[in-house]
Amino acid sequence: MTALRSDRKRPPAKPETARPSRRRLTGLGLPIYVALALVFLLIPIAYTFVFSFNDSVKSNIAWRGFTFEKWLTVCNEPGLCEAFGNSILVGVVATVLATALGTAIAIALVRYRFRFRSSISLLLFLPMATPEVVLGAGLAAQFLALGTQKGIVTVILAHTMFCISFVVVTVKARVASLDPALEEAGRDLYGSAAQVFWRITFPLLLPGILAAALLSFALSFDDFIITNFNSGAVDTFPKFIYIAAARGIPAEANVIASAVFILAILIVVVAQVSRSARQKKLAKLN
């Protein structure tokens, strides 16, 4: 999610010089194209949202009239809320594990020099360059060889694995931007190593750690391919949809997806607004 963090130094934007009117006319093409492209990106979201209000009987394909009912009786659809609950459980546990393990690695990678550094970086980079189907099949082959029963534990183990790399990348950028002088100041003032970490380092890293945790949760929540290989009989929300796809998706699944979507967008918007408010305050101070 680094792309969203625009607090990076950018070259001073020079005011654009006045252009002849012929240029201004062709200049309209790009904004129109971008607007159309963004609408295109949103079509399936709108579709999913609209069809969460469909008064469907079994499969949710033809429009049969508007109803709020599916939003109020989501859990009447057998298996759906269990699957959703599993997704939340897996997401939370995997996020906590991956964030803890990944943050520790990120701090070590930036702050310490040690042998095998490049092999360790490669080990952390490779999972992001490996297709999910290979990650999923590999873990499944390993669980098969060990005779491990597949279930929610194996799903959590798998999700934690692929989230760690993303946590490392996200937190590493934050550690690198941290001014070591702040920690030195803490030590100069006779702070113990633990005090310096919890009172200075950790609060300064917290935005990066939170961003990493949100990213992990989002990745885990929407993962299907790796889950499908390692879940055995346990259903997650995406797996529920995959199985239901053969016979028709119930409108209740659209309800859950739409609710999650609204919540996620709210989180992003709140984060953006609070950041721009903070930047304005900083600009005033300067």
Partner 1 sequence: MAFAAFASSDAAVTKPPRRKSTIALVLLLPGILYMVLFFLTPLISLVITSFQAELPGGDIGDYVPGLQWQNYVESASEYLPHILRAFGYALVATVFALIISYPIAYFIGVKARRWPLLQSMMLTLVIAPFFISFLLRTLAWKQILSDESPVVQALKAVAILPADGHLTGTPFAVIFGLTYNFIPFMTLPLYTTLERLDTRFLEAGSDLYANPATTFLKITVPLSMPGIISGTLLTFIPAAGDYINASRDFLGSSKTAMLGNAIEANFLTLQNYPVAAALSIILMAVILVLVGVYVRRSGTEDLL
> Rounded to the nearest 5°, which phi and psi values hold at 19?
-115, 155
Residue 77, token pair as written in the block: 């659809």
Residues of this chain, 159-188, that bind partner 1 according to CB under 8 A: 160-161, 164-166, 168-170, 172-173, 175-176
Site for partner 1 in 94-113 (CB under 8 A): 101-102, 104-105, 107-113
Q: Please name the amino acid found at residue 203.
A: P
Q: Rounded to an integer, what distance in angstroms lies between the CA atom of residue 73 and that of residue 223?
A: 26
- Kindly state the smallest distance separating residue 282's Cβ from partner 1, in Å: 13
| 141 sits near partner 1 (criterion: CB under 8 A) | yes
The least distance separating partner 1 from the CB of residue 203, rounded to whole angstroms, comes to 18
Helix axes 132-146 and 152-176, enclosed angle (nearest 10):
130
In the range 252-281, which residues lie near partner 1 by CB under 8 A?
A: 253-254, 257-258, 260-261, 264-265, 268-269, 272, 276
Residue where the block lists tokens 């995406």: 238
Under the binding rule (CB under 8 A), the answer on residue 202 touching partner 1 is no
Is 91 a binding residue for partner 1 by CB under 8 A? The answer is no
Q: How far is the CB of 90 from partner 1 (least distance, A)?
A: 15
Size of the site for partner 1 (CB under 8 A): 104
What contacts 237, CB < 8 A, 6 or more positions away? 83, 84, 86, 87, 221, 253, 256
Show the tokens assigned to 14: 């020079």
Does the footprint of partner 1 cover residue 56 (CB under 8 A)? no
